[in-house]
Amino acid sequence: MTVDASVTGREWLVEAFGCDAGRLTSVPALQRLFDAAVLDLGLNPVGAAVWHQFPTPGGITGLWLLAESHLTVHTFPEFGSACVNLFCCTPRRAWEWDARLAELLGATEVRVRSVERAYGGIIAPAIAGARA
């Protein structure tokens, strides 16, 4: 299979550690995180974010549908951690994940992985051969 790599989005898979448990159990605090990403990166939400608070000691899950794809967060207050996803189906600069998650969640360590997501379809073998 040869996928057309010229049409490619990017997803950031981010884990934040050492976070402040109070903010990991606060929807307003997590909405501020979402708002900061949207503002800083010029993202375009479609409707409001969806939030769910799990029973103690559970955390919060938030999902926000974007014109660019999606922004999600899952928090684990019992571990002081959060998992964040940002998927943009068009090119966009990386966010300052370390600095912003330190500021907004109190994170002391942040792990960022960035994954290409090509969705431009399959190049027919004859065309793929011509391009090789």
Q: Token pair of 52, please?
A: 């769910």
The answer to the question of residue 118 lying near a copy of itself (CB under 8 A) is yes
74 has catalytic annotation = yes
Q: Which of 21, 26, 85, 102 binds a copy of itself (CB under 8 A)?
A: 85
81 has catalytic annotation = no
Question: Where does the chain have alpha helices with state H?
Answer: 21-24, 27-41, 97-105, 125-131
Q: Which of 35, 69, 92, 106 binds a copy of itself (CB under 8 A)?
A: 69
What's the min distance (Å) between Cβ of 10 and a copy of itself? Answer: 11
Exactly one of 26, 70, 74, 83 is catalytic; name it: 74
Q: Token pair of 21, please?
A: 């448990």
Does residue 28 have a cis bond before it (omega within 30 degrees)?
no
Question: DSSP state, 122?
Answer: B
Active site residues: 69, 74, 89
